[in-house]
Structure 1
Amino acid sequence: MKTRKIPLRKCIGCMESFPKKELCRIVKNKDNEIKFDATGKLNGRGTYICKKTDCLDKAIKSKRLQKSLESEIPEEVYEALKLEISKNE
């Protein structure tokens, strides 16, 4: 019996790899709109962050989210991330 390989993604804050399901996804679509992707299935360029406040703070401070998506991150995306992270902590 084959076991399915669990997809790993790297957190943009701490740079550690985690299973995709344990991370929050931020996506930039063709129209350059940046959104928090709760489903993990939206089309576009995605970047991941683990569900820890210090990782989010680190990513904001070092501007890693902006660099990985190559554009400014709207404040409402940060708010959605903070809300999602606060649910899990």
Structure 2
Amino acid sequence: MAMTQRRYCLFMNGRIHNRNIGCKRHDNAYGIRGGGNGADRRRADHALYAHMRENRDPLALPVLGFTRLFGWFFFNYHGKPWRGQLIRKLFPGY
């Protein structure tokens, strides 16, 4: 039985432009074992943008904008403005 690869990209096809690996790294930087402060989040967003640019992905700039505008909802903050991921506080089953 073949294992299917987990899909890490939200709202876009992860199978093209090597997106899934970039999204996985971004999710790991945002998640339970990642996180930190606003500067850490900015670095994670720009690393995803750089990965997408390296792979000539036409969605690189819109994705950077999306992550900068809405990423705070998913990022695992270690202190201010709150502790943990807001999405897990609002939707515990996420």
TM-score range, shorter chain: 0.3 to 0.5
The structure with the larger Rg is: 2
More helix by share: 2
Determine which structure has greater relative contact order: mean sequence separation of CA pairs < 8 Å that are 6+ residues apart, divided by chain length: 1
- What TM-score do you get using the length of structure 1 for normalisation? 0.39
- What TM-score do you get using the length of structure 2 for normalisation? 0.38
More strand by share: 1
